[in-house]
Structure 1
């Protein structure tokens, strides 16, 4: 079984080396000691949220403190593909369910989208609070799935802003019930473009666009297609806004050999 993980201060995690005693403090330490009930001698990982992982065993605990002896330091390379989820705002917390599951399935960036047909609206202060809430969701889901990297959540975009944001992404897949092309076939667009971050080349970026309950409007679909996006389908059935993105990510993980 893999070790439980906790997020440490990136500067402190960067400074720690094999054989050092690392001191975890604050809410993460309280969660480790009071909720997870970790004790001396148990194995644990501390990560910085950006790929650096400290593995060690607990040497001491306190009310808001956990210390571990670092046995190994791992720099986990970024995958050769970077997944972005463009998730339309949806009612009934379905958008939040999608964000949480997508994090567990390896998404790297989440972009909230206030589409033309979104019933939920983020305006002014609500936009900042919504972004912060989604960021908290990705952090918690990354911790639960024991990822060393926390997906970032960008500010909410309207449809015009989204088309601009999608410029420069290697492959944009718009999930649409009326599309003729299956998702798997669209990956042929990436032939010969697989990157290896270990060699210093940038990961190939793949965006998955998921509409709201009422679907993506024809005008939005036309605008994204004009920007180079490809409309694809996942199968014969219509999926909810909460499941479409995670289903596509699961398929991409399999097709690209990540699973």
Structure 2
């Protein structure tokens, strides 16, 4: 499979034209991935444009690619949105990376009441870190669309979200299984998966979400870590909606 790189310039490029990679993307292509002249690669703008091309020049400061083909990939519908509770260590980052590779379309960091990690004074740094992880994971997975990473949400924000989206809250004690509801039509609305922190979602948060119309579902008879629950749920949704 050809290596994949992302640049805004890919958005307007047509077959026969040349796209230049510069800055960190050029350095990554030439010095890290070691692309060579005449090597086939793919390019994207992260917003649906998909280009195939051939490298015509390669150096750590600039890589040139002659475009040989162009495709515009429609945005997925319905969108799969992961609301990931902040977690200690790198568990939330692992969750974001895996979900991106598996096809999530948007990610919302959630400051849950039981989240050990707090972004109160470092939200900008945390968002930048997550967005970098998502971008790199999307490139690795050869995705035409890079998932959006929204600003940090509080539980009140999720309650409002449940009024306009199909919100599925992963809760081990729920009676309904995700597999039994995953294929239900969302009427074009986003399908939102809510994953709690290490200590689980607080009872008052579960009640508020359920009262707003969210559905509590479980993955199975076992309890998954916050770093793996979202990825498992995205896999179930992808199969149920025919993406896989």
TM-score of the pair, normalised by structure 2 = 0.96
2:177 is equivalent to residue 182 of structure 1: yes
The count of corresponding residues between Structure 1 and Structure 2 is: 244
Q: Which residue of 1 aligns with 2:211?
A: 226
Give distance in 2, aligned partners of 1:109 and 1:225: 22
- Residue 81 of structure 1 aligns to a residue whose secondary structure is coil
Give distance in 2, aligned partners of 1:230 and 1:249: 16
User: Which consecutive residues of structure 2, in runs of 5 or more, have no partner in the other structure?
Assistant: none
Q: Which residue of 1 aligns with 2:69?
A: 72
Conserved? CA contact 2:41–2:55, under 8 Å = yes
Q: Which residue of 1 aligns with 2:51?
A: 54
1:254 to 235, 239, 242: 239
1:135 to 131, 137, 140: 131
Q: Which residue of 1 aligns with 2:95?
A: 98
Q: How does 1:18-57 map to 2 (within 5 A)?
A: 18-57=15-54
CA drift of 1:217 comes to 1.0
Conserved? CA contact 1:210–1:245, under 8 Å = yes
CA drift of 1:23 comes to 1.5
2:11 is equivalent to residue 14 of structure 1: yes
Conserved? CA contact 1:90–1:213, under 8 Å = yes
CA drift of 1:163 comes to 1.4
2:161 is equivalent to residue 162 of structure 1: no
Comparing 56-65 with 227-236, which one deviates more in the overlay?
56-65
User: Which consecutive residues of structure 1, in runs of 5 or more, have no partner in the other structure?
Assistant: 194-202
Give distance in 2, aligned partners of 1:188 and 1:22: 41
> Deviation per CA, 1:160-209, whole angstroms, max 9, x where unpaired?
2221233311x111000110001122236417x3xxxxxxxxx5410000
Q: Which residue of 2 aligns with 1:200?
A: none
Conserved? CA contact 1:56–1:70, under 8 Å = yes
Q: Which residue of 1 aligns with 2:149?
A: 153
- Residue 99 of structure 2 aligns to a residue whose secondary structure is helix
Conserved? CA contact 2:183–2:240, under 8 Å = no
- Residue 157 of structure 1 aligns to a residue whose secondary structure is coil
Conserved? CA contact 2:86–2:111, under 8 Å = yes
CA RMSD of aligned residues (A): 1.3
Conserved? CA contact 1:186–1:230, under 8 Å = no
Deviating above 6 A after TM superposition, structure 1's stretches of 4 or more consecutive aligned residues are none
Give distance in 2, aligned partners of 1:172 and 1:225: 9
Give distance in 2, aligned partners of 1:83 and 1:213: 22
CA drift of 1:35 comes to 0.8
